[in-house]
Amino acid sequence: MSDEHVKSGDMGNSVSDIPDYNASGELGLTFPLRARSFIIRNLELTFVLLIALLVCAVFFILPYRFAFLNLFYLPVLLAAYILGRRKALYACLNIITIVTVTAIIRPEWFTVGGTLTSTLIMIVIWGGFLVLTSTGIGSMQEKLAKGFEETRRLYEELKRSRVAEEMKEKVEKTLYTTMDPVVARLATEGKLRIEKREISIMFCDLTDFTTYSDQNPPDIVLDELNRFIGHIEPIIELFRGHIDKYMGDGVMVEFGAPVDYAQHALMAVIAATKMQEKMAQIGLPWKLRIGIATGYTIVGMMGVHRQAYSAIGDRVNVAKRLEEICEPEKVYIDEFTYKLVEPFTHVVKLRNMGYSRQSDNALLQELALLETTMAREGESANLLFKMGKVHFDLHDASGAIDYFERALILDPDCTEIRLAYADANLKKDEFEKFQLKGKLHKIAVYEVKGLKNRWNDHTIIPRAISDAYRGVEESIDLPSDLVLAVESLDGSVGRGHLVGMLSYVLADRLNLNEELKLLILQAGYLQDIGKEAVPHHILNRQASLADHEIKFVEKYVLESVASLKRLGYNNDHLLEIVKHHHEFWDGSGYPDGLKGEEIPIGARITALAEDFGAMTSWRPYRDPWDVRFALNEIRKNTEKGCYDPQVVNALFEIFQFDAVSSNIHVSAV
């Protein structure tokens, strides 16, 4: 046994245990400590000597020695427990050998009137039990020792892993306070790389911040600035934006990186509009400008020792320049962004104006008079030419070209119209494109006016219906931003609003009570909120889904129920409607395969409203369907057993869609 074991032992506190110095002046050990150290180092030899002494004591001192042979079980058991099976067996053999030799030399010590043979037989039986006992106890002890060692090793590994986990949590917590949590998680997992990717970049900046900071104490300026950041950060995070950096009173944000959301441009534009809405509400001493550009950039961890996830490239510069020319309280986007968000937003193409707003108003008034005249008298080459000239003076070259082309159809030989048409084409880029700093070519710039309200789109919902239920629409108090964030994942923006309102109208046509109608409106508005749990690449898949992907998508209804519970919606009827809005009238739907009247009436209504909303909306894989085509498809699906015929009839009444005149037969299922 090594000296390390001596140091770990209990050395006592007596005076005799105090170290002394030997004759050479070196630090030595006292006699008791040296003796103890020798015994510990030679434990096995010490044990054998004790056994030998015990044998001698038994055989030479005690009478009736054979009865005392059982005393050897105690030291053998102790040997098995301390030294293990093999060394205990050696001790047994030594003891048996000594006893056997002693019995041969002095048989009278073991028996009275017996023979040597019977004595040896008794010793063999006794020795056999002694060996079995020692090996059994030794094996058990070795297993226990092995188990203890394994437990100790696992405990040490657990401590190390817990320490590592605690360190990881501390590192992640620190990272989360200094960078985007998604970036921090991906960085710690080693999943970030430098790559070229199409994303949308947003720059926003406060107006008159420098003047305000010069006129106010620093603590007030910083407090107001933090209040501004505290309001816009949750909006950016809600729409999956990555805050790249703060630049004083400005912010740079990427959408579509590091996670490659397909609808990144839509997320960026919705976030921008919501930020402007929030700025109008909170009353800060500044106004906000926002510029957004979309295109391919280089993204990844930038830097060597101090790294940060960022984007570089031409589109980053364009976004910054758009923010610089943007008017306060507005959102400017480039043409690439416009093409991606046009189905969902009201956008105006900006004109490169070079005159006062007063003259602009005079031209607009002249244009209104000409439109009134044309509505009364009809189109003529001269009237169209005048309207084209007004658009040209407004620097709306595209509008001017359109009117000049229509005028040339009526009067193809008019030289004046031809010259005006040619001039408009020559001036188109000058009037409608902007020269941004650092850009070689001019670009088209668009202003986002707001999101389209599909319920108020009269190509989808009749004006009489939307006007009749205006009060209901204005009274909706639901987490619209949260629903928008989920809808932006697959470009279904506005569907929840449309489905909720149409469900209310259908419930009203079926004469349901007011409480149930409002419950159905809420369910229709919120029932797709669980789509957040579906991978966004599946939601935006343009090809057909595989069977396992379809099963994955079908689980979203249960996730919607769970999400609503987390949001505090605990009405059982509401949750039942959400859960069963994908059940079919013939029992072939999911999740429970309910049939006919087993399906809650609210779920039957919202299911039809949702399918109508999906058919008439833009999807990543197709353009929106015409309303009449969608109603015909609903008729076919009703005949297949998908919808409640009574609810379908109510829908046809809303759109004045006559099933008989349209060769539609709605049969009971």
Query: What pLDDT, on a 0 to 100 scale, did the predictor assign at position 72?
Result: 63
| DSSP states along 453-500 | -GGG-TTTS-HHHHHHTHHHHHT--S-HHHHHHHHTTTT-TTHHHHHH
The mean-pLDDT minimum among 395-399, 449-453, 647-651 falls in 395-399
* pLDDT tens column, 188-229: 777 778 899 999 999 999 998 888 888 888 888 888 899 999
What pLDDT band is residue 73 in, cutting at 50, 70 and 90?
low
Burial 505-533 (b: 16+ CB within 10 A, else e): bbbbbbebeeebbbbbbbbbbbbbbbbbb
Query: What pLDDT, on a 0 to 100 scale, did the predictor assign at position 110?
Result: 63
Query: What pLDDT, on a 0 to 100 scale, did the predictor assign at position 75?
Result: 66
Rounded to two decimals, the pTM is: 0.69
The mean-pLDDT minimum among 282-296, 346-360, 619-633 falls in 346-360
- Mean pLDDT confidence for 613-623: 88
If you average pLDDT over each of 48-57, 148-157, 413-422, which comes out highest? 413-422
pLDDT over 50 (residue 54):
yes
CATH superfamily of 453-654: Hypothetical protein af1432 (1.10.3210.10)
Domain-wise residue ranges, the chain: 42-148, 191-343, 357-437, 453-654
Query: What pLDDT, on a 0 to 100 scale, did the predictor assign at position 664?
Result: 41
The kind and range of the H/E element at 235 are helix 218-238
Q: Which residues pair with 243 in a beta bridge?
A: 253
Q: 10 Å Cβ neighbour count for 387? A: 24
Examine domains 191-343 and 453-654 and report if their fold is the same.
no
Q: Please, what is the average pLDDT of the chain? A: 81
Share of the chain above pLDDT 90, in %: 42
- Mean pLDDT confidence for 432-451: 80
What pLDDT band is residue 256 in, cutting at 50, 70 and 90?
very high
Class for the domain spanning 357-437: mainly alpha
Range 334-337 contact pairs with CB under 8 angstroms and sequence separation of 24 or more: 334/292, 334/293, 334/294, 334/295, 334/443, 334/444, 334/445, 334/446, 335/443, 335/444, 335/446, 336/265, 336/293, 336/294, 336/295, 337/200, 337/265, 337/268, 337/269, 337/292, 337/293, 337/294, 337/446
- CATH number of the domain at 191-343, please? 3.30.70.1230
pLDDT over 50 (residue 20):
no
